[in-house]
Amino acid sequence: MANQVQLSITHCPMIASGIAADMAGLDQSLDRDNGLLDYARLRRTTVQAWSPFQKGFFDGVFIGDRDNYRELNAVLDEWAAKYEVTPTGIAVAWITRHPANMQVVLGTTNPGRVAESAAGSELPLTREEWYRLFRAAGHTLP
Ligand SMILES: NC(=O)c1ccc[n+]([C@@H]2O[C@H](COP(=O)([O-])OP(=O)(O)OC[C@H]3O[C@@H](n4cnc5c(N)ncnc54)[C@H](OP(=O)(O)O)[C@@H]3O)[C@@H](O)[C@H]2O)c1
């Protein structure tokens, strides 16, 4: 019914590898999960994203980390202002806007952050907005 995997804008190899498929020499092009996302969509398995705000494997939160993710935070701020939510809401929207109908597994114990996250969960980010976040996080869009 569901497969719970690590997924955030900054850690998304299962999405990013397909976007840069078959590009020799580009690390992003490597398939690290044997087509997990394609399989889930074909079998209608719900992908659940854990660590939705973490830079990598429990490396801390990318939201507000302007030293390491300056461009990403600028775009998060821009779409947050446009949609009148917080950057946390936009980080959730990036996951829920994906056509695989993913669910976001929050780790917060802060009720305010739960509300901010829920506010972003049904935002109709445009494709351009989604891909700008993707590129601002450092991924390649060929
Ligand atoms: N299936 C698996 O293998 C697996 C593996 C790992 C985790 N999980 C599940 O996934 C859940 C989520 O993972 P996670 O806890 O790594 O996810 P997360 O929601 O990305 O991170 C939660 C942590 O980040 C902090 N945080 C969130 N937003 C923040 C912000 N804007 N500014 C500062 N701090 C912020 C939270 O602090 P506050 O509490 O102060 O908000 C909390 O310490 C876990 O609780 C667990 O249930 C499953």
Domain residue extents for the chain: 2-136
* 2-136 under CATH 3.30.460.10, yes or no: no
Check residue 46 and give its pLDDT.
98
Check residue 36 and give its pLDDT.
96
- Picking from 52, 17, 22, 47, the residue whose alpha carbon sits closest to that of residue 33 is 17
The stretch 52-66 carries a mean pLDDT of 96
Contacts of 122 (CB under 8 A, 6+ apart): 93, 96
Atom of ligand 1 nearest to the CA of 60: 24
The stretch 61-80 carries a mean pLDDT of 98
Task: Name which residue sits closest to atom 47 of ligand 1, judged by CA.
Answer: 107
Task: Name which residue sits closest to atom 13 of ligand 1, judged by CA.
Answer: 51
Check residue 55 and give its pLDDT.
96
The CA–CA distances, whole Å, from 53 to 25, 27, 42, 85 equal 28, 22, 27, 16
The count of C-alpha atoms lying within 13 angstroms of the C-alpha of 113, restricted to the half-sphere facing its C-beta, is: 14
Confidence band of 66 (pLDDT split at 50, 70, 90): very high
Task: Name which residue sits closest to atom 35 of ligand 1, judged by CA.
Answer: 61
Check residue 10 and give its pLDDT.
98
Atom of ligand 1 nearest to the CA of 109: 39
Confidence band of 129 (pLDDT split at 50, 70, 90): very high
Q: To test ligand 1's pocket by mutation, which of 7, 48, 61 has the most ligand atoms within 8 angstroms of CB?
A: 61
Confidence band of 34 (pLDDT split at 50, 70, 90): very high
Confidence band of 128 (pLDDT split at 50, 70, 90): very high
